[in-house]
Amino acid sequence: MSRPGRVDAAQRLGRHPKADNRGRDPGGTMAKKIDLAVGPVRTKALVAMPGGDGPFPGIVVTYHREGLDAFTAWKVDHLAAAGFAAIAPDHYHVLPQGTGFKERNKYLTDEQMALDLEAGAAWLAAQGGVNERRLAVLGPCMGGRTALVALECNPEIWTCGCVWYGGEVFEPLGGQLAPPGAKERLEKIACPIAGFFGSRDSHPTPQEVDRLDGLLAALGKEYIFHRYAEAGHGFLNPWHPRYDRAAAKQSWAKALEFLHARLDGAAPILGEQP
C-alpha cells in the first residue's frame, strides 16, 4: 500500500521497456519541460511532482552526456513516483547552436554546472509542497561527476547525494574553480554520499574509485560505496549497450532507500525497478 502523497511507480509509469540499445524513447513520460532561470540566462529543465500535497523532499538530477533524453526523463519520473519532487536542469545552454554533446568540454565549466543545479534547487524550494530543507542531488556518468561538483560548490544546499560511476573527479573542468586540488575540493562536502560503481568500468576505473574512497575516508566524510563485480560503465541506463539489469535494480533500490532515510526517514516505496 502506498503512503498518502505517493503514487506507485508501476501505476504511473507502467513496466519499463527492455533496452533496445538504439536510444529509442518509448514515450509515456510524466516529466514536463519548463523554462528555468539561471542568473541572467534561461535554460530548460525536466520536472515531475508526486501526487498529493506534500511536503515532499526534492531531488535535483544532473544528467549523463546525452542530456535531457529518455533516460533522464525516466529518472525524473521514477523519483516523483517514489515520493520526491524532481528536476533535471539542462547544462547545455552554454553550447553554441548546432554544437553536439561530444564537444561539450570546450564550453562546460564546473562553476556553471553548479549554478544550474543551484537554480534547480531554488526552483524546487519555491514550489508549494516541497521541503526546501530536504534536498538531494544525484546523477550518473557525467552527472555522477557533476553531482560531486555540486556538493563541493554549494554544500549548504544539500542533505545528501548519489553518484553513479562518475569519472574524472580529481580535476576541475574549465574556468577557475578554486581550490583546484581534489582533496581540497572534496573537503567542502558536508553531507552523506552514496556511490555506485561497476568493477568492469574503465571510466572511472576501480583504481580511481579506490582513490576517491581513500580521500573521502581520510577526510572523515560520511559515505557508502556499492560496487558491482560484473557491471561496466552505463549499467543503470536501459538504453546503454552495457546496461546490467541486476546491478541497475540493486543500485536503484539502494539509492531510494538511502534517499528516503536521509530525506524523510521513511521506508522506501520502491515501485517498478529498472
- pLDDT above 70 as % of the chain: 83
pLDDT attached to residue 265: 64
pLDDT attached to residue 88: 98
**Residue spans of beta strands (DSSP E) within 62-125:** 85-89
Note the pTM of the prediction, 2 decimals: 0.85
pLDDT attached to residue 106: 82
Q: Where is pLDDT greater, at 109 or 220?
A: 220
Q: Are 155 and 191 in contact (CB under 8 A)?
A: yes
pLDDT attached to residue 100: 75
Please name the residues in contact with 123: beta carbons below 8 A apart, sequence gap of 6 or more.
34, 36, 45, 47, 87
**Confidence tier at 18 by pLDDT (50, 70, 90):** very low
Between CA 44 and CA 35 the distance in angstroms is 5
Residue 76 phi, psi dihedral angles, 5° rounding? -60, -45
User: Given phi > 0 = left and psi -120 to 50 = alpha, else beta, which region is 266?
Assistant: beta
Per-residue pLDDT tens for 35-65? 999 999 999 999 999 988 889 999 999 999 8
Enumerate the H helices of 126-177 as residue ranges: 142-153
Q: Provide the β-strand partners of residue 228.
A: 198
Chain length of the chain: 274
Per-residue pLDDT tens for 212-254? 999 999 999 999 999 999 999 999 999 999 999 999 999 999 9
pLDDT attached to residue 15: 33
Question: What is the SS3 assignment for 58?
Answer: strand
Q: What is the largest CA-CA distance in the chain?
A: 50
pLDDT attached to residue 236: 97
Q: Where is pLDDT greater, at 26 or 157?
A: 157
Q: Are 121 and 47 in contact (CB under 8 A)?
A: no
**Residue spans of beta strands (DSSP E) within 175-214:** 193-198
For residues 196, 203, 88, 159, the Cα torsion angle rounded to the nearest 10 degrees is 40
Go through the domains of the chain in sequence order and give each one's CATH number: 27-94+105-263 (3.40.50.1820)
Q: Are 145 and 152 in contact (CB under 8 A)?
A: no
Between CA 141 and CA 163 the distance in angstroms is 8
Q: Provide the β-strand partners of residue 61.
A: 138
- pLDDT above 90 as % of the chain: 68
Between CA 198 and CA 154 the distance in angstroms is 28
